[in-house]
Amino acid sequence: MTDCKCLGSGLVPVQLALTMATILRELELEPLAPDHALRVRSFPTMQPMDFRIRVLRRRAHSVAATA
């Protein structure tokens, strides 16, 4: 068995952070039911159960105000 590692594996955290920053800069995310108790399913990957959000595009002045 050899120790092989993908050359791009170190880029995953950077790409994830960039993607999340872009989403949060461009969109407003809010739960449809703010008092909803978050439950997760962990097989095969962790994911929320019965969790719905409203996605709204941010207004131009909203982005400038937070920068």
Q: Where are the domains of the chain?
A: 13-66
Q: Are 55 and 27 in contact (CB under 8 A)?
A: yes
pTM for this prediction: 0.57
Per-residue pLDDT tens for 35-49? 988 899 988 888 988
Per-residue pLDDT tens for 18-39? 999 999 999 999 999 989 888 9
Query: What percentage of the chain's residues is helix, strand, coil (to nearest 5)?
Result: 35, 25, 40
What pLDDT, on a 0 to 100 scale, did the predictor assign at position 14? Answer: 93
- How much of the chain, in percent, has pLDDT values that exceed 70? 88
Alpha helices, H only, 1-67 = 11-26, 60-66
- For residues 15 and 18, give the distance between their C-alpha atoms in angstroms, rounded to a whole number: 5
